[in-house]
Amino acid sequence: MKINKLKKIKKIISLAVVLLMLVSTVLTVNAATFFEESGFKYLPTSDFNCRIYGYTGTDKNVSVPNKLSSFTVLEIADSAFTNNKDIESVSFANAKAIDAIGEFSFAGCTSLKSVNIPSTLDKIGFGSFMGCTSLTDINISSNISVINGQVFQNCTSLTEFTVPNSVGTISDFSFAGCTSLEKVVIPKTVKNISDKAFLNCDKLTIFGYTNSYAQTYAEENGINFVALDEKTLYGDVNLDGKIDINDVTLLQRYIAGESVLTDDAVKAADFNKDRIIDIIDATAIQTFIAHGQN
C-alpha cells in the first residue's frame, strides 16, 4: 500500500512539474509574440487593427504611425511608453484612426515636452502623462468627455492648458502638483470638477465664462477667475489679453486640425470678421504684429 501511495505521489509531482514547465513555455512564447516595426512593439487585435505595446526606437521625436505592417493602429496600450527618458515629443498626426491612449501610457517620460492629440481620440487613460516633468505643450483636438484622474499630475513645467469643448468632467488630481500651472481655459460644457483636480496649483487662474460652472468652482475653491466674455480682442486667439506670435501659432494649429479652440477663441480668431477661420486670418494677425499695432 505504501509503495502505491509513493507511486501516486511521484505521479502528482511529475504532473505538477510538467504543468509548471508548460506554463513557463506559454509565458515565454507570449513574451516573444510581439511584432516589431520601426521601434514599435505591437499585436493585432483583429484582422485589420492593432495595439502598440511598447517602443524600442531611438527617435526623440516620435510619430505614431497610421499602420504597422497591414494593421491600422487603434490604441496605445497601458504603460506602453512608461518611464521612457529619451522621447521629447509625440505626434499622432499620422495616426488617422487611433481612438485610445491607455492608463499610464506615457507616465514618467521626463524628457517629453510636447504632445499633439488628434480629433479621433475619445479616451485618454488614467495617469497617462503623470510625472512628465518637462511637458509644456499639449494640444488636444479630441472628443474626450472626461479628463481622467491624475492624467497630468505632477507635470511641473506645464504653464497653461485649454480644456476641449467636448469635456464635461475634470476628475480627481487631474492637474494636482502642476506647480507652474498659471492658466486653464474651461468651456461652458464643463459641469463637474473635482475638489482635488488642481491640488497644489498655487499660481492658477481659471479663465471661463460669466455664471458658468467654472466661475462657481473657482470662487468656491479660492482660485482667481477671469471672465472671457466681457470683451472680444480680435486676434487674441489664446485669450491672454494680448496679440502676439503665440496667437498665430495656435491659429495655424487650429486650421491644420491639430488644436481645439473655445467658442470665444474662435470668435477672436476671426480677425477679418468674415465668419470664416482660415489662413487669411493668420496672415492678417502676423501683419498686425509686424506693424507694431498691438
Residue 24's contacts (CB-CB under 8 Å, 6 or more residues apart) are none
Report CA-CA distances (Å) from 110 to 79, 81, 127.
14, 11, 14
- Which segments of the chain have a pLDDT < 70? 1-32, 230, 293-294
Q: Could you tell me if residue 74 is inside a domain?
A: no
**Domain that residue 279 falls in:** 231-294
Amino acid at 121: L
Q: Could you tell me if residue 120 is inside a domain?
A: no
Q: What is the sign of the dihedral through the CA atoms of 31, 33, 37 and 42? A: negative
Q: Give CA–CA dist 15/170, Å, rounded.
A: 53
Contact 57, 88 (CB under 8 A): no
Q: Could you tell me if residue 243 is inside a domain?
A: yes
Q: Give CA–CA dist 18/21, Å, rounded.
A: 5
The pLDDT, as a whole number, for residue 241 is 78
Q: What are phi and psi of 115, to 5 degrees?
A: -140, 130
Q: What is the sign of the dihedral through the CA atoms of 65, 70, 73 and 79? A: negative
Q: What is the 3-state secondary structure (H, E, C) of 215-275?
A: HHHHHHCCCEEEECCCCCCCCCCCCCCCCCHHHHHHHHHHHCCCCCCCHHHHHHHCCCCCC
DSSP 3-state helix, strand, coil percentages of the chain (rounded to 5)? 25, 20, 55
Distance of CA 232 to the CA centre of its chain: 29
Q: Could you tell me if residue 20 is inside a domain?
A: yes
The pLDDT, as a whole number, for residue 113 is 97
> What is the pTM assigned to this prediction?
0.73
Q: Could you tell me if residue 5 is inside a domain?
A: yes
Q: Could you tell me if residue 240 is inside a domain?
A: yes
CATH number at residue 279: 1.10.1330.10
Q: Could you tell me if residue 218 is inside a domain?
A: no
Residue 224's contacts (CB-CB under 8 Å, 6 or more residues apart) are 204, 205, 206, 218
The pLDDT, as a whole number, for residue 293 is 61
Amino acid at 224: N
Three cell numbers at 195? 475638489
Please tell me the total count of domains within the chain: 2
Q: Could you tell me if residue 72 is inside a domain?
A: no
Angle at 278 between CA 234 and CA 231, to 5 degrees: 15
